Amino acid sequence: MADRKIDDATGVETTGHEWDGIRELDNPLPRWWLWIWYATIAFSIGYWVLMPAWPGLHGYTKGLLNKSDRAEVGQELKALDKQRGEGAAMLRTASLEQIEKDPKLLAYAQQVGQSVFGDNCATCHGIGGTGSKGYANLRDDVWLWGGKLEDIQYTITHGVRTGAEGARMSQMPAFGRDEMLQPKQIDDLTEYVVNLSHRPADAAAVARAAPLFEAQCSACHGPQGLGNQQLGAPNLTDADWLFGSDRASIRGQIYAGNGGVMPTWGGRLSPETIKALSVYIHSNAGGQ
């Protein structure tokens, strides 16, 4: 039991607790303080009555105000859907060019496009859209199937080499595997393609391969090797290579004629979403 004493200066009893000579006076609390305590009790009773409060075996007391956080979240989600609907309506009526010219619509489309891209496209093309070997880089200015807004929209909607109607289609022959050319000829053609992209190559081999290129490759890639977007045939004279730029990669491509497949997004994403995605990709690549 603490030792209760009377404080000399004030005549008030101490609580008997002492810390380094400092004693605590047992002064009464002000009365209004007590009232505040009563007020909180009154408040809590009101709260029980009005708000969900007591858990039970089969649910809980609902309270007179019938407040439910779950119902409120449902309403917020509905409001969000409505808001999205308004955005979608804006995208539906505007043309791709109009979307890109209107700063507000552009910002909206970019936001929608970014999240859709992350969900659906980033798996192959990378989160930054830079692609990788066999998957096209969507951030540079090289477009196998065209880089205009409508071209991008078409490619996303119909896909590439899916076999579906309307899909982008082309197939490079497997010159080696299907034994259309001799290995020696493929070696020569490899040197020819290296030379096309302004790199040092075996001049004799290049000379030997010239008629071969003319006969086998120029139909799609063009006599100068500049490519053809109608056929998805890449330009062989620039610094951009989908399947690699070194001799082994080029040789492998002539041998096997790889061609990637991109899914058809038409039925899976709404036309408005594809529009937003097209604008996002187009504006992120600097536009063409």
Partner 1 sequence: MPTLIDNTRKPDNRSAVSAAERAKGKGDAKGGLYKPRQPIYPKLVHGKWRMVKWALLIATLGVYYITPWIRWGRPEGFPQQAALVDFTGRRFYFFDIQLWPQEVYLFTGVLIAAALALFLTTALFGRLWCGYACPQTVWTDLYIVVERLFEGDRNARMRLDAAPWSFDKLWRKTGKHLVWLGIAFGTGGAWIFYFHDAPTLIRTFWTGEAPATAYVSCALLTATTYIFAGWMREQVCTYMCPWPRIQGAMLDQHSLQVTYLRERGEPRGAHKKGQSWEGRGDCIDCRQCVVVCPMGIDIRDGSQLECINCGLCVDACDDILGKLGRPTGLIAYDTDAAVAARTCGQKAVYKPVRSRTIYYAVALTIVGGLTLWSLVTRPKADLHVIRDRNPIFVRMHDGAVRDGYTLKITNRTFAERRFDVAFEGVAGARLSQPGQTGDKVTLMVPADQVISARVFVTAPAGADLPASVAGRFVAKSGDVTAESKTVFLSGAANPQ
Please tell me the count of residues contacting partner 1 according to CB under 8 A.
Answer: 43
Q: CA triplet 93, 96, 100: central angle to 5 degrees?
A: 110
Residue 28 contacts partner 1 per CB under 8 A: yes
Within 8 A by CB and 6+ apart from 26, the residues are 4, 12, 13, 14, 15
Of the two residues 270 and 283, which places its CB atom closer to partner 1 in the complex?
Answer: 283
* Least gap, CB of 37 to partner 1 (angstroms): 10
Within 8 A by CB and 6+ apart from 175, the residues are 181, 186, 189, 216, 254, 255, 257
Residue 127 contacts partner 1 per CB under 8 A: yes
Residue 41 contacts partner 1 per CB under 8 A: no
Do the beta carbons of residue 131 and residue 284 sit within 8 Å? no
What's the CA gap between 104 and 126, in Å, rounded?
27
Residue 140 contacts partner 1 per CB under 8 A: yes
Among 1, 3, 8, 41, binds partner 1 (CB under 8 A): 8
13 strand-pairing partners? 6
Of the two residues 223 and 286, which places its CB atom closer to partner 1 in the complex?
Answer: 286
What's the CA gap between 278 and 30, in Å, rounded?
71
Residue 283 contacts partner 1 per CB under 8 A: yes
- According to DSSP, the β-strands at 22-25 and 55-56 are unpaired
Residue 107 contacts partner 1 per CB under 8 A: yes
Residue 26 contacts partner 1 per CB under 8 A: yes
Paired tokens of 134: 């066999």
22 strand-pairing partners? 19
Among 238, 243, 249, 255, binds partner 1 (CB under 8 A): 238
Among 2, 10, 24, 76, binds partner 1 (CB under 8 A): 10
Of the two residues 120 and 284, which places its CB atom closer to partner 1 in the complex?
Answer: 284
Beta carbons within 10 angstroms of residue 206's beta carbon = 18
Of the two residues 13 and 214, which places its CB atom closer to partner 1 in the complex?
Answer: 13
- Residues lying near partner 1 in the complex (CB under 8 A) are found at 4, 6, 8-13, 26-34, 100-101, 103, 106-107, 110, 126-130, 137, 139-142, 235, 238-240, 245, 282-284, 286-287
